[in-house]
Amino acid sequence: MHENACVRYLFLRVEPAQMLRLKEIHTNLSDRLQKARVQGWLREIAAIETTMAAATQKLEAMRTS
């Protein structure tokens, strides 16, 4: 699953077995966000923040279901 899949396919339910992978994606996005801020990549920052928000939403939904 690609990081951007979280944004493109919000209607899809993530399988509980994929929770670890989604956590890895979230961590990778966090690292990319930090690098983008250091480099001043404003468009990249906005895209990463959007994708991270979707990933966070999916993780929360998985934890509560």
Kindly report, residue by residue over 21-51, the tens digit of the pLDDT: 999 999 999 999 999 999 999 999 999 999 9
Residue 1: the pLDDT is 44
Predicted TM-score (pTM) of this structure: 0.70
How high does pLDDT run on average in the chain?
A: 83
> Which secondary structure element, helix H or strand E, spans residue 38, and what is its range?
helix 19-39
Tally the residues of the chain: 65
Per-residue confidence (pLDDT) for residue 6, from 0 to 100: 52
6 within 8 A of 54, measured Cβ to Cβ: yes
**28 and 6 Cβ atoms separated by less than 8 Å:** no
Separation CA 44–CA 39 (nearest Å): 10
pLDDT at 26: 92
